[in-house]
Amino acid sequence: MSAARTPALGFILVTLTLDILGIGLIVPILPKLIKEFSGGDTAAASHAAGWLSALYALMQFSFAPFLGCLSDKVGRRPVILISQFGLALDYLLLALAPNLGWFVVGRVLAGITGANFAAATAYIADVSPPEKRSANFGLMGAAFGIGFIVGPLIGGTLGLIGTRVPFYAAGALTLANWLYGWFILPESLQPENRRSIDWSRANPFGAFAALRARPQVMWLAVCALFSFVAHTVYPSVWVLYTEFRYGWTPLLNGLSLAAVGVCAAVVSAWLTGKVTARVGDWRTAFIGLAVAVCGYLGYGLATNGWMVFVIILFGSIGGLAAPAVQSLISNSVGDDEQGAMQGAITSLESIAGIIGPLLATNLFSYFIAPDRSLKVPGAPFFAAALIGLVAFFLAFKARTAARAHGTDRVGNPAPEP
C-alpha cells in the first residue's frame, strides 16, 4: 500500500466503527420495542421482527447491485454518504414510531440506501494490495467488533431510561458520522479505475449472471450466502432467545453483545492476519466455517446463561471465515469492478437477510409456543449449524473449481506442485 493511500484505510475504519456503534445502540432494545407493539407476546414479536428484517433485506437485494455499480462510476464516498443519511432518517422514524407501520417505512428507507458496507468493502479493496486484503478485511471486522463493544453497552443502559432513547442516540451519532464523512472522508476510487454503469449488472439478476462467468467465484458466493443465512440467527433471535431461556435483561444482553464485540475485534484485528499469513485464505476459511458450526450447536445446547459467555469466547474464531472468503472473491476481479462485485455479494447477503430471519424467528416461535408440549428454544441455532455445514462443503466445492481453473487462490496462479 502506498504511503499516500495509507491514511484512507484509517478513515474508512473510523466511519465503519461509528456506523456499527449506532447499530449496536439499538440491538438490545429493538426487540423489546417490537414486543411492546405486539401486546407483550414474545412469539408475536418474533414473527414481526422476522418480517421487518426480511423487508429490509428485500430492499437491499433490489438496490445493492445498482448502488455498487454506481460506486464504480461516481466513487465510494458519495454512496457511503447517501447510505449514512438514509440510516439516520431510519433511526429517527423508529424513535418516533407510534406503531409497527412506521417501522415498515423506516426499514424500506434503510434497505434502499443500505449499501454502506458494500461500498466500504470496495473502498478497502481500493486501498489494499491483493496480498493484504484478508488482513484489511479483518480490520473491517475489528471495526464491527469495537462498535459492538461500546454500542450495546450504551444502548442497554439507555434502554433503562426509555425504549426510544437509544434510537435518538443512534440517529444523532449517525448524523455526526455523516458530517465526518462529508468533511473528512477522502475518495478511494482513482479516476482511471472508474467505469460507466453496466445496466445489465445493475440489478440482482444480472449481477448473479455475472458471477456465473467465474465458476470458483460463484461457488464462493453461494458458500457466503449459506454462511450469511446461518449467521442471521444472531440478530434475529439472540435477545428474544436469551430473555426467554435465561431471563436476561437488556443490560445483560448488552454485556453479552459487548463480549461478542471484544472477541470479534481480537479475532479480526489480530488473529486473521496471522492465520492467513501462515495457512492462506482457503484454510483460514475452512477453519472459520467449521468453528462457526460448533458455535451454533453450543448456543442451542447451552442450558445456563454462563455457558453462553464461554461459547462466545470459542465461537468468535468462526469470524476468520468472512474476511478470507471476501478476500478470495475480491481478488478475482479488477479494480474497476470492485463496486459491482460487492453489490452482487451484498445482494446475496440480502437474500440471506430475507430467508434467515424468517426461518430463525418462525422456528423459535414454533418451538416456544404455549401449546407446544416439547419446547426447543435452541431450534434456530440447530438449523443454523446445519446450514453452516452446507457452507463448509460449498467452500470445498469452490476450492475444487479454483484448482480446475489453475488458481489456488482466486485470481492468482496456483503454486507449482
Look at residue 392 and tell me whether its pLDDT is greater than 90. yes
At 332 the pLDDT is 73
Look at residue 59 and tell me whether its pLDDT is greater than 80. yes
Distance (Å, rounded) from C-alpha 166 to C-alpha 159?
6
In a domain, 416, yes or no: no
Give me the CATH number covering residue 217: 1.20.1250.20
Confidence of residue 44 (pLDDT cuts 50, 70, 90): confident
Confidence of residue 143 (pLDDT cuts 50, 70, 90): confident
In a domain, 193, yes or no: no
Going from the C-alpha of 158 to that of each of 23, 29, 172, 241, 355, the distances in angstroms are: 14, 9, 14, 21, 31
In a domain, 194, yes or no: no
Give the pTM: 0.73
More confident residue, 267 or 1: 267
Distance (Å, rounded) from C-alpha 99 to C-alpha 198?
40
Confidence of residue 417 (pLDDT cuts 50, 70, 90): very low
Provide the sign of the torsion angle of the four alpha carbons 280, 188, 113, 345, taken in this order. negative
> Which structural domain, as residue segments, surrounds residue 43?
6-182+199-411
In a domain, 187, yes or no: no
The residue length of the chain stands at 417
At 162 the pLDDT is 84
Q: What is the mean pLDDT of residues 225-240?
A: 90
Could you tell me which residues come within 8 angstroms of residue 4 by beta carbon, excluding any fewer than 6 positions away? none
At 414 the pLDDT is 38
Distance (Å, rounded) from C-alpha 5 to C-alpha 351?
34
C-alpha cell at 383: 438449523
409 forms beta bridges with 412
Question: Which residue has 467465484 as its cell numbers?
Answer: 217
Distance (Å, rounded) from C-alpha 104 to C-alpha 409?
42
In a domain, 1, yes or no: no
Give the H/E segment covering residue 407.
strand 407-409
Full DSSP string of 27-83: TTTHHHHHHHHTTT-HHHHHHHHHHHHHHHHHHHHHHHHHHHHHHHHH-HHHHHHHH
Distance (Å, rounded) from C-alpha 409 to C-alpha 282?
7
Residues 367-370: contacts with CB under 8 Å, at least 24 apart: 368/42, 368/43, 368/244, 369/43
SS3 content of the chain, % helix, strand, coil (to 5): 80, 0, 20
Confidence of residue 315 (pLDDT cuts 50, 70, 90): very high
At 8 the pLDDT is 62
Question: Which residue has 463448509 as its cell numbers?
Answer: 392
Look at residue 5 and tell me whether its pLDDT is greater than 50. no
Closest CA to 77 of 90, 87, 67: 67
| Helices 233-246 & 42-74 angle (0-180, nearest 10) | 160
C-alpha cell at 216: 470458483
At 43 the pLDDT is 72
At 406 the pLDDT is 64
In a domain, 171, yes or no: yes
407 forms beta bridges with 413
Going from the C-alpha of 336 to that of each of 82, 122, 280, 341, the distances in angstroms are: 21, 10, 25, 10
In a domain, 78, yes or no: yes
C-alpha cell at 154: 450504551
In a domain, 57, yes or no: yes
Distance (Å, rounded) from C-alpha 82 to C-alpha 90?
13
Q: What mean pLDDT is reported for the chain? A: 83
C-alpha cell at 214: 467465474
Closest CA to 237 of 117, 379, 99, 375: 379
Report the number of distinct structural domains present in the chain: 1
